[in-house]
C-alpha cells in the first residue's frame, strides 16, 4: 500500500481495450496525490479522467464534460462529501462512487442514503476498485435506477405498493417489503450485506441477533413465488447478506 490509500497496483491483464473506452470518470478529492493516483489507475484501465478538489469544480466539469461516473471523497477540506453528493443528485443523474477511510457500517449507510451508488473504504485494491467501477457503470447505464424495467420479470408499483409482472399478475406487499425490493432492484446482481440493507430499510443500525430483516425477506420470497415469476430470485449469501438475481 502507498500513501494514497491505494494498495500497490497490479493490473496486468485487467486493462480495457480501446474499443471499451467510452466512459468518462471525474475524481473529486482535495488531496492532489490521491487525484493523480486515481487518474493513473483509471487511465491504465482505459477510462478518460478529469479531477477536481471541491464541489465548485465538480459542477463546472460535470456541466461541460458530462462524465459517466463521479468518484467522490467523503471528507473534502471545506465540505462534507455526503452533502455534496446529496445536492449533486438533485441536479444530475450520474452515478456516484464515494471513497472513505471510515469502515463503520453506519458511515456506509449514510453515504448510500446521501445519493451514492457505491461506497468504497480505503485502503482498497486497485483491481477491485476498477472491477467495482465497471460493475457500477454497467449496472447504471444498462439497467437504470428505476423500480424495474417494463420487460423485467418483476417491478414495483410504489404508489399501490404492489409487485407487478409483465403478464399483469400482481401481489400486494408491505411497506418494508417494498423498501427491501427497491434496494435490491436498484442493485440487482450485487451482493448487499445484511448490515447495509438493514440500515437502508429500517434507518437504524443492525443489532447482531436481530432477525426481522430475514423474516421480511422470507415473506417477500413467498410473494414472489406466488407471482410464479421464474426469472427473479432473492439469494442468501452465507455470512454476508442477499443478492437479487434476475434472468
Residues 18-32: pLDDT tens digits? 444 468 999 999 899
SS3 labels along 88-104: HHCCCCCCEEEEECCCC
Residue 41: predicted pLDDT: 96
CA–CA dist 166, 232 (Å, integer):
12
Q: Can you list the residues of the chain whose pLDDT is less than 70?
A: 1-22, 103, 140-152, 229-230
Q: Which helix (H) or strand (E) holds 183?
A: helix 175-186
Residue 89: predicted pLDDT: 80
Residue 2: predicted pLDDT: 56
Residues 32-46: pLDDT tens digits? 999 999 999 999 999
Residue 46: predicted pLDDT: 93
Residue 147: predicted pLDDT: 45
Residue 3: predicted pLDDT: 55
pTM over 0.85: no
DSSP per residue over 219-231, as a string? HHHHHHHHTT-TT
Residue 130: predicted pLDDT: 92
Amino acid at each position: 500500500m502507498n500513501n494514497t490509500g491505494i494498495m500497490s497496483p497490479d493490473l496486468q491483464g485487467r486493462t480495457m481495450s480501446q474499443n471499451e473506452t467510452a466512459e468518462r470518470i471525474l475524481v473529486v478529492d482535495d488531496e492532489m496525490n490521491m487525484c493523480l493516483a486515481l487518474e493513473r489507475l483509471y487511465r491504465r484501465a482505459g477510462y478518460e479522467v478529469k479531477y477536481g478538489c471541491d464541489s465548485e469544480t465538480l459542477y463546472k466539469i460535470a456541466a461541460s464534460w458530462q462524465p459517466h461516473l463521479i468518484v467522490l471523497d467523503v471528507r473534502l477540506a471545506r465540505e462534507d462529501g455526503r452533502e455534496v453528493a446529496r445536492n449533486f443528485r438533485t441536479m444530475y443523474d450520474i452515478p456516484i462512487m464515494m471513497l472513505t477511510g471510515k469502515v463503520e457500517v453506519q458511515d456506509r449507510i449514510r453515504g448510500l442514503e446521501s445519493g451514492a451508488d457505491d461506497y468504497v473504504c480505503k485502503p482498497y485494491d486497485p483491481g477491485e476498485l476498477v472491477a467495482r467501477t465497471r460493475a457500477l457503470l454497467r449496472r447504471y447505464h444498462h439497467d437504470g435506477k428505476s423500480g424495474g424495467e417494463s420487460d423485467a420479470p418483476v417491478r414495483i408499483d410504489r404508489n399501490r405498493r404492489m409487485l407487478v409482472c409483465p403478464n399483469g399478475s400482481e401481489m400486494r406487499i408491505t411497506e418494508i417489503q417494498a423498501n427491501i425490493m427497491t434496494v435490491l432492484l436498484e442493485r440487482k446482481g450485487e451482493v448487499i450485506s445484511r448490515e447495509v440493507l438493514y440500515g437502508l430499510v429500517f434507518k437504524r443500525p443492525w443489532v447482531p441477533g436481530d432477525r426481522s430483516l430475514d423474516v421480511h425477506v422470507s415473506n417477500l420470497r413467498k410473494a414472489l413465488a406466488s407471482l410464479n415469476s421464474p426469472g427473479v430470485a432473492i439469494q442468501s449469501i452465507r455470512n454476508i447478506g442477499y443478492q437479487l438475481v434476475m434472468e
